[in-house]
Amino acid sequence: MPQAADAVAAGTVECLHTAAFYYVGKDPAWAFGSCIAFGMNFRQMNAWWFEGGGEKLFNGFIRPQGGRYMISGNTGPQTGGGWWRKEIKSMEDVKGLKMRIPRPVMDGFYKACVPMYAELSAGNANFKRLYDSRSAFQKEAVSWMRFTENTFDDFMAQTPRG
């Protein structure tokens, strides 16, 4: 898959539609075109991208590699998964299932990410520039996002559909 970005840069193909995190082997900073562990959800990511300078910073990183990046769909961090007694084939199969991730497990994963991000920032100016921007945006906006998103998500979770 990383060859596809090289093909765009070389002019072999005109366009590529993919998730940027597939290219972290080229440079870890590619992850900021999609998502990083313990990063923002899709609404927060879009806010940073369009209003917090993320698009300009990321394209500043991509441009010297011969490309221009545009968000085209955004799922946010992928946190689902699990082992189930029966195959999940439809949303109907998900009804009534419960999944628990203990807080100590999440704390452990988070604590492992912090030094990894610090190490990547120390050795990669592109990663540092993008990580610092995203982190500052998330910190500044987190209170507003918690209020608005939790209110909206709670409303949607409690609203009957039919």
Q: What average pLDDT does the segment 31-47 reach?
A: 82
Q: 155: Cβ–Cβ under 8 A, 6 or more apart, which residues?
A: none
Of the pLDDT bands very low, low, confident and very high (cuts 50, 70, 90), residue 44 is confident
pTM value surpassing 0.85: no
CA distances from 154 to 71, 118, 149 (A): 27, 34, 8
Q: Please name the fold of domain 2-77+100-158.
A: D-Maltodextrin-Binding Protein; domain 2 (3.40.190)
Per-residue pLDDT of 51-68, as tens digits, reads 899 999 999 999 998 888
Per-residue pLDDT of 76-102, as tens digits, reads 665 555 667 777 777 687 777 776 666
